[in-house]
Structure 1
Amino acid sequence: MADDEDFLAVLHRVDEGMDGLMPIALARGMEHIRGVAAGLTPVRTGQLVGSASVTVDGDEAQLFYPGPYARRQHYELDWRHTKGQALYLEQPMRTEADTALGIVSDTLGGAFQ
């Protein structure tokens, strides 16, 4: 019975560690995507790329570009930019997903140390 109690205590500590690390892990993963997206974001004044922010709420992370023109800049496939491109957020969400998940996984691995 003592071994079962020790095992349950370890599981409880791991669970608490995971809960505590989850927001940090999600933020790190999404910050990686924000960094890649910043290099693809259209730049005229720099306001759009500088306004990107990452928020974490529970087990969800969000990368947000505020402003009335962020959505249009993202989806206008016919617009030509001297720096940046359309789909500046969608592309890194696809191409960097494995890297971001690896960052989350590596961070959560700290719960087992």
Structure 2
Amino acid sequence: MHLKSPMLRFLFGHGVIGGGAGIAIAVSLLAFDVAGLASLSMKSEPTWLGPFLLCFSFFASFSALAMGAAVMSFGGRGDDGDDDDGGMTVRHRIITDTQNPGSGRAERAAIRVRR
């Protein structure tokens, strides 16, 4: 399958990784019989339905979680490349009050750092 859009490739890749992790966790829960999940599903009438629903729900949840985390941490600045700050970023640190050093008060100082 060939996806032309880079954003769809980005989302598809992260969705597959998250879905694979979800299925691996669901299968390990069934393999180790955590909380009696495997033994309970073997006692039900369609024995395949319980494990299938567990694996499918873990696949859907983990793939959505991975895609959401990937989108939120993308951090692109856009395609135009127009930076107003000249490659500088502002960081903050807490310093003691410069006008009254003995007061024990603190203030926030802005520091410009080159990226």
Give TM-score scaled by structure 1 length: 0.32
Higher relative contact order (CA 8 A, sep 6+): 1
More helix by share: 1
Give TM-score scaled by structure 2 length: 0.31
More strand by share: 2
